[in-house]
Structure 1
Amino acid sequence: MRVLVTDAEYASLDIEAGVLRAAGHELRTARCTTAQEVVDAAGDADALLVQYAPITAEVFDALPRLRLVSRYGVGVDVVDQEAARARGVWVCNVPDYGTTEVALHATALLLALLRNLGGHDREVRARRWDYQLGGPLRRPSGLTLGVIGLGRIGRMTAERAAPWFGGCVGYDPHLPDSAWPPGVERVALDEVFARSNAVTLHLPLADRTRGLVDAERLSRMPPGSYLVNTARGGLMDLDALVQALDDGRLAGVGLDVLPQEPPEWGHPLLTHPRALLTPHVGWYSEEAEAELRCKAAQNIVDWASTGRPTYPVVEGR
C-alpha cells in the first residue's frame, strides 16, 4: 500500500509512520493546500491521510488508483463525499479521539462567559479593582442551556454543564428518542434559540448546517444571552454575531472555531470586548493528538487487512 499524508501540522509523522510501516505499508508526505497539489503529490497512492487539503471530485478523477481517504478529526467537510461515493472510494474519520477535551473546552468557555472572566481579567490588568465594572452577572440556576447536536461531545457537554442551569433543551434530528439523554428536553431548532440563555453548538458542517446561526435565529434569543461554538466555524455568520453583541442580544460569545482559520485579522469580532476566542485548541491534549494520529493511520491498516476501515463515513467498494 502506498499512503500519502497530504498535509499535517505536526512536527513529525513518526506515529503514523510507525503504524503504517509495522503493517508493511509505504508512507509519503507532502504539504498540499490545493486540490491540484494533492493530485501532483499523490501519484499512484492507494490511500490519503488528510488534515485540511481539499479532496474534490477532480482529485478522485485524477487518481483512479485511490481507494480510501482517512481524515485527521471528526469532520469530513474537506472531502467531497458524494464524489467519493460515486467512485466507490472509502472515506473515514476519527470520531472519538478528543471527546473529553472538546466537551471540557465548551464547558470552560461557557462558564467563563457566565462569570465574565475575560472582562474582569482586563479590568484588573488595567489597575481597576471593582467587581461591578464587568457588568451584571446572572445566577445560572435561573437560566436555560441549549445544546444543538447531541452526539458524543454534545451529550458530554450537557452532562457536565446542565446541572449548573435551571433547565436544558436540545436539538438533534438524527438521534432517536431511545438514545435521547435524560435531563434534556427535546425541542425544535428554533425553539432552542428562543428558550435558551446560553447555546452551545456541536454539529458537523454540511450544506444543511452552514450558516445555521444567522441574524434571524440570533434575534430569537433572550437579550443578554451567550453562544459557544467548539464545532465548526462555518455554522456561524460572523457579521450577525458582531451585530448581536453590539445590540445586546448576546452578552458574550466563546468561539474555538471560525469560518476562516487563521481568521481575517481585521474582522471586528477579534477585538470585541465580549468575545472570548481560542485558536481551534478545543480538541487538543498530548494524549488526544497521539490517539488521533494513531487511529487515522489505523483506518488505513484495517481497510488493507479486512476490507473495511475502523470508522467509515462513506462506504467504498
Structure 2
Amino acid sequence: MANILITEQIDPVGPALLEQAGHTITWMKTRTPEELAEKSKDAEAIVVRILDIPAEIIRNAPKLKLISKHGVGLDNIDLGAAKKSGVAVTITPGANSLSVAEHSVAMLLSLAKSLPYVTEQYQTKGFSAKNSPPGVEVSGKTLGIIGCGRIGSQVAKIAADGFSMRVLAYDPYLTEAPKGVELVSDRDRIFRESDFITLHPVLNQETHHSVGEHEFQLMKPTAFLINCGRGPLIDEPVMIQALQSGKIAGAGLDVTEKEPCDPESPLFRMPNVILTPHFAPTTHEAGSRVSKIAAENVINFFAGNEVVGRIV
C-alpha cells in the first residue's frame, strides 16, 4: 500500500478511510517548505489543502504519483510540473460549493445591514448605536455574479428564490442561463448595474487582477463587492483606494491577495469591510464531504479505479 502525506489537518473521515484501505499516513507538523521537501521525498501521494506544492517539490519527489487536492482551487499546485513528471492531480468538485455560496450570501446580508459596524458601535457606545446610518434591504436589488459555475449558480438560486433579487451573471463558458438568472455578454453591465457583486471565476492569467480601476469606476457608490473566490482576482491596492474614497460602499472578503492578510493592512481598520480568513468552505458538512472525496480519490487511484475531478 501507499505512503500518503497529508499536509494540513482535515476532517477525520478521510484519514480513517485511507487507513482502512491499508495506506500509511504521514502528517506534516510545521508546514514549512523545508518539512514539505523532506517528507514528500517518500510520499506516493500528497493530500493538500492550501499549502503550496511548487515544481521543485514535485521534481524532487521520485515516488510521487498523485496529488489529491482537498478542494477545487489549483493555484497552489504547479500543474505544469505535475504533468511533466507524470503526477496525476485530482480535485473534489462540488463538495464545498454550498458552504462557499452560503458564506457569500452571509457576507452580502451582513454588508447590507452593517452588522459588524453596528455591533462594534453597540459595544463601544451603547444603545446610541441605534442611531447608526441605516442599512438597506436586499429584496429587489440587483446581484451581479462573475463566474456562474457550481458556487455562483447556488448563490444565484439563494438570492433569487430567497430574497427576490434580480440576478445578472457573466460567465463566458456558459451558454444557458441558470433559472432566475439573466446571462449577460457585456461584462461591464455587471459592475455598472449591480448593487452587490460576487466573484466566483477560476483564477488564471486572464482573471488575475480582473477587477481593477476600470471596474471600480463603473460601480455605483452604493455597491458592495464580495470575494469568496481567490484574492488575486482583485487589484487590492486599487480596491483599498476605492473603499477609502467612497467609490464603493463596502466589501466582504474571505480571501486577500496575500494570505494571511498583513495585520497592518488598512482593510482591518475599515468599518465597511468584512474580513474572514479563507473560512467560506469551513463547515462541518463540507469538511466531511471534501475529506471523504479526497481520500476516495487516493484509494481509487492506487486500486486502478476511476477517480473524480481528475485535472492532470
TM-score under structure 2 length normalisation: 0.90
Deviation of 1:4 (Å): 3.1
Deviation of 1:248 (Å): 1.5
SS for the counterpart of 1:9 is coil
Q: Distance in 1 between matches of 2:30 and 2:70?
A: 15
CA deviation vs aligned residue, 1:63-105 (integer Å, no higher than 9, x gap): 2321110011121111111221233221111122222221111
- Which residue number in structure 2 is paired with residue 260 of structure 1? 258
- Closer/same/farther in 2, CA of residues 142 and 42 from structure 1, 3 Å limit: closer
SS for the counterpart of 1:306 is coil
- Contact 1:4–1:30, Cα closer than 8 Å, also in 2: no
Deviation of 1:141 (Å): 4.5
SS for the counterpart of 2:143 is strand
- Which residue number in structure 2 is paired with residue 98 of structure 1? 96
- Which residue number in structure 1 is paired with residue 170 of structure 2? 171
- One-letter amino acid of the structure 2 residue matched with residue 73 of structure 1: G
- Which residue number in structure 1 is paired with residue 304 of structure 2? 306
CA deviation vs aligned residue, 1:184-227 (integer Å, no higher than 9, x gap): 22223232112212101112222222222222211111122101
- Contact 2:111–2:250, Cα closer than 8 Å, also in 1: yes
Deviation of 1:306 (Å): 2.7
Residue 65 (structure 2) pairs with residue 89 (structure 1): no
- Closer/same/farther in 2, CA of residues 221 and 313 from structure 1, 3 Å limit: same
Listed as ranges, the matches of 1:1-317 within 5 Å are 1-10=1-10, 14-31=12-29, 33=31, 35-125=33-123, 126-129=125-128, 131-135=130-134, 137-141=135-139, 143-163=141-161, 164=163, 167-177=166-176, 180-187=177-184, 188-314=186-312
Q: Distance in 1 between matches of 2:188 and 2:270?
A: 26
SS for the counterpart of 1:312 is coil
- Contact 2:243–2:249, Cα closer than 8 Å, also in 1: yes
Deviation of 1:58 (Å): 1.9
Deviation of 1:16 (Å): 3.2
- One-letter amino acid of the structure 2 residue matched with residue 212 of structure 1: S
Q: Distance in 2 between matches of 1:225 and 1:282?
A: 21
In structure 2, runs of 5+ residues without a counterpart are none
SS for the counterpart of 2:128 is coil
Deviation of 1:33 (Å): 4.1
Question: Greater CA deviation, 256-265 or 67-76?
Answer: 256-265
Q: Distance in 2 between matches of 1:139 and 1:22?
A: 51
- Contact 2:53–2:78, Cα closer than 8 Å, also in 1: yes
- Contact 2:3–2:42, Cα closer than 8 Å, also in 1: no
- Closer/same/farther in 2, CA of residues 17 and 165 from structure 1, 3 Å limit: closer
Question: Greater CA deviation, 100-109 or 22-31?
Answer: 22-31
CA deviation vs aligned residue, 1:244-291 (integer Å, no higher than 9, x gap): 112222111111122222210001011101101222221122222122
CA deviation vs aligned residue, 1:26-48 (integer Å, no higher than 9, x gap): 22222464555433212232211
Q: Distance in 2 between matches of 1:242 and 1:52?
A: 25
SS for the counterpart of 1:200 is strand
- Closer/same/farther in 2, CA of residues 130 and 25 from structure 1, 3 Å limit: closer
SS for the counterpart of 1:302 is helix
In structure 1, runs of 5+ residues without a counterpart are none
- One-letter amino acid of the structure 1 residue matched with residue 233 of structure 2: L
- One-letter amino acid of the structure 2 residue matched with residue 55 of structure 1: I
Question: Greater CA deviation, 156-165 or 65-74?
Answer: 156-165
Deviation of 1:183 (Å): 2.2
- Closer/same/farther in 2, CA of residues 214 and 66 from structure 1, 3 Å limit: same
- Contact 1:72–1:93, Cα closer than 8 Å, also in 2: yes
Identity between Structure 1 and Structure 2 (%): 33
Q: Distance in 1 between matches of 2:29 and 2:69?
A: 15
Corresponding residue pairs, total: 309
- Closer/same/farther in 2, CA of residues 60 and 280 from structure 1, 3 Å limit: closer
- Contact 1:149–1:201, Cα closer than 8 Å, also in 2: yes
- One-letter amino acid of the structure 1 residue matched with residue 87 of structure 2: V
- Closer/same/farther in 2, CA of residues 226 and 289 from structure 1, 3 Å limit: same
TM-score under structure 1 length normalisation: 0.89
Q: Distance in 2 between matches of 1:190 and 1:33?
A: 41
